[in-house]
């Protein structure tokens, strides 16, 4: 089993810029901190730290050799700032998920909001808060969370495959059909070959009474996975409905 990706820790990047002109020209040095993970033997992924010392924002990749030349390891910074901040973030998310599983929606909301104070684009915290507002039928609040999630490509990555399907299903079950369709379609822009997303999207169209569209989407799912028995049974059920 591969050890990648592996956390390398926090690294600093120093950049110098010249400001002003002529006699007033001066060199200004800027120091930024980055969270680094090694993806394989040749590539490293870096993500900037926010003011709370946690990785947040757009990730970018660099070749291992270029990374080692440009970035400086900051082990003390990592241990003193980032590690405890990440532990705090994780603890709040886990607390929110626990409260949600117990049906304590107000407490879950508070826990997820505390997590988002540390990292406003935390994928699991936003999913958790979205689940709370879906259950509470707080549409305006849910709309804001949806807008955040739809803007986060990470939310639709393989890492969050289960969460994205569960969230889209919850939207459907609570009657937010158009939102569920938009969400699953966004997921398919990033995961084009995931038969489970197609299946869940088909379920939404079924609930809307769009049987032909449902069958068409299910056919894509079974093309991707010919052994997808549940999808084949669903197609048979839908075809019987159209005959009646």
Kindly indicate the confidence band of residue 224, based on its pLDDT and cuts at 50, 70 and 90: very high
Is residue 83 located within the same domain as residue 166?
yes
Specify the range with the lowest mean pLDDT, choosing from 24-33, 132-141, 172-181, 219-228: 24-33
Q: What does the pLDDT look like over 34-68, one tens digit per residue?
A: 999 999 999 999 999 999 999 998 899 999 999 99
Residue with structure tokens 């990440």? 86
Q: How far apart are CA 69 and CA 11, in angstroms?
A: 12
Q: Which residues contact 102 (CB under 8 A, 6 or more apart)?
A: none
53: left (phi over 0), alpha (psi -120 to 50) or beta: left
CATH number at residue 101: 1.25.40.10
Alpha helices by DSSP H, listed for the chain, are 64-70, 75-77, 83-101, 105-118, 123-136, 139-150, 161-173, 177-190, 195-207, 211-224, 229-243
183 within a domain of the structure (yes/no): no
pLDDT for 94 equals: 97
| Percent share of the chain, pLDDT over 90 | 84
Q: How far apart are CA 116 and CA 95, in angstroms?
A: 13
107 within a domain of the structure (yes/no): yes
**Closest-CA residue to 190 (of 223, 214, 154):** 154
- For residue 17, pLDDT beyond 80: no
Q: Among 127, 151, 176, identify where a domain stops.
A: 176
Q: How far apart are CA 8 and CA 78, in angstroms?
A: 10
Mean pLDDT across the chain:
92
Asked if residues 36 and 44 have their Cβ atoms less than 8 Å apart, the reply is yes
Give Rg (Cα) of the chain: 23
pLDDT for 5 equals: 81
- How many domains would you assign to the chain? 3
181 within a domain of the structure (yes/no): no
Q: How far apart are CA 126 and CA 144, in angstroms?
A: 10
Q: How far apart are CA 72 and CA 12, in angstroms?
A: 5
pLDDT for 242 equals: 76
182 within a domain of the structure (yes/no): no
Tokens of 243: 């005959």
Q: How far apart are CA 217 and CA 151, in angstroms?
A: 24
Asked if residues 238 and 214 have their Cβ atoms less than 8 Å apart, the reply is yes
The pTM of the full predicted model, rounded to 2 decimals, is 0.86
Is residue 55 located within the same domain as residue 101?
no
The range of the structural domain enclosing residue 35 comes to: 1-73
**Closest-CA residue to 144 (of 162, 159, 132):** 132
Q: Among 26, 53, 73, identify where a domain stops.
A: 73
- For residue 232, pLDDT beyond 80: yes
Specify the range with the lowest mean pLDDT, choosing from 19-23, 88-92, 111-115, 240-244: 19-23
Is residue 132 located within the same domain as residue 158?
yes
Cα of 24 vs its chain's centroid, Å: 46
Kindly indicate the confidence band of residue 23, based on its pLDDT and cuts at 50, 70 and 90: low
Greatest Cα pair distance in the chain: 87
Specify the range with the lowest mean pLDDT, choosing from 6-20, 62-76, 115-129, 151-165: 6-20
pLDDT for 1 equals: 47
């Amino acid at each position: 089993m591969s050890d990648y990706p592996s956390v390398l820790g926090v690294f600093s990047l120093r950049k110098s810029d010249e400001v002003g002109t002529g006699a007033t020209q001066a060199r200004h040095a800027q120091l930024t901190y980055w969270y680094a993970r090694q993806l394989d033997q040749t590539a490293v992924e870096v993500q900037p730290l926010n003011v709370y010392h946690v990785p947040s924002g757009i990730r970018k990749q660099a070749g291992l050799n270029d990374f080692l030349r440009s970035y400086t390891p900051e082990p003390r910074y990592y241990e003193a700032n980032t590690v405890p901040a990440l532990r705090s973030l994780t603890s709040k998310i886990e607390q929110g998920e626990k409260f949600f599983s117990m049906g304590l929606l107000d407490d879950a909301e508070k826990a997820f909001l505390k997590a988002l104070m540390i990292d406003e684009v935390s994928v699991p915290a936003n999913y958790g808060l979205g689940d709370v507002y879906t259950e509470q039928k707080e549409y305006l609040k849910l709309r804001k969370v949806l807008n955040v999630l739809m803007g986060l490509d990470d939310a639709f990555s393989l890492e969050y495959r289960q969460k994205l399907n569960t969230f889209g299903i919850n939207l459907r079950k609570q009657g937010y059909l158009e939102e569920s369709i938009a969400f699953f379609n966004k997921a398919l822009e990033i995961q084009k070959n995931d038969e489970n997303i197609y299946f869940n999207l088909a379920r939404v169209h079924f609930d809307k009474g769009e049987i032909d569209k449902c069958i068409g989407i299910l056919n894509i799912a079974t093309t991707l996975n010919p052994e997808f028995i549940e999808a084949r049974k669903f197609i048979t059920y839908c075809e019987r409905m159209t005959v009646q």
